[in-house]
Chain A
Amino acid sequence: RKEVEQDPGPFNVPEGATVAFNCTYSNSASQSFFWYRQDCRKEPKLLMSVYSSGNEDGRFTAQLNRASQYISLLIRDSKLSDSATYLCVVTPNTNAGKSTFGDGTTLTVKP
């Protein structure tokens, strides 16, 4: 089993749709959680950190469920520019350098 698993996708949605991605992790010692966005042939970039209480940034909402060891990302009112691959990232507190990336979920938003 992979340390970090994501919905394989791809997700193809129309503009304005709401879409949700899930990610599960196996290391219960994990302490830091993030969503990164990667555009085609570009580097991954931080989208948002994920906090225990959940957090929102505009149209994006991230949730963390420690008991079930999963995190989620919700995108509301999706835009064409949201088309990208979304990577779930988990870092254990005991080893700050050992961030593990999921394989990513590809989102295509269509007009």
Chain B
Amino acid sequence: DAGVIQSPRHEVTEMGQEVTLRCKPISGHDYLFWYRQTMMRGLELLIYFNNNVPIDDSGMPEDRFSAKMPNASFSTLKIQPSEPRDSAVYFCASSLSRYRSGANVLTFGAGSRLTVL
């Protein structure tokens, strides 16, 4: 298994530009999560999906952030327009259903390091 795959690994952009981060979860995992990590705030849950449906987006900072999961093997996190304070590492993670062995164990992708100038 290739694990959770994220792209791009690094993104440098200018304030005001649109940023799209992509994630392919592990095949068979029912849950997909988007986290953001900064030195100041640690690891924060932005949004998560169960069976492609957004369940909780209360961690999304503001309307500039949006996430979609059009099918079981793909999700995007979009920031439009981007701001310098959005600079962070964005992790995607997936896990199995809570009713299956190994539930609640998160497998993370390598992350997308975003720098907004």
Contacts and interface: CB of A to CB of B under 8 A. Distances in A.
A41 to B, nearest CB: 8
Interface residues of A, number: 22
Contacts of B50: 97
B43 interface: yes
B110 A99 contact: no
Q: Is chain B's interface secondary structure helix, strand, loop, or mixed overall?
A: strand
Interface stretch (B18-26, B75-83, B100-108): B100-108
Interface of B: 31, 33, 42-43, 45, 48, 50, 55-56, 91, 97-98, 103-111
B4 to A, nearest CB: 8
Interface in A26-44: 32, 34, 36, 42-44
A97 B31 contact: yes
Nearest to B44: A101
A42 B110 contact: yes
A99 B42 CA distance: 14
Contacts of B108: 43-45
13 contacts: A32-B104, A34-B104, A34-B105, A43-B109, A43-B111, A44-B106, A87-B43, A89-B106, A96-B97, A97-B50, A99-B33, A99-B106, A101-B42
Contacts of A34: 104-105
A42 to B, nearest CB: 7
A98 B106 CA distance: 11
B40 to A, nearest CB: 10
A97 B105 contact: no
A3 to B, nearest CB: 11
A38 to B, nearest CB: 9
A80 interface: no
Nearest to A33: B104
B43 A101 contact: yes
Contacts of B31: 96-97
Contacts of B110: 42-43
A98 B93 CA distance: 12
Contact of A97 (B48, B91, B107): B48
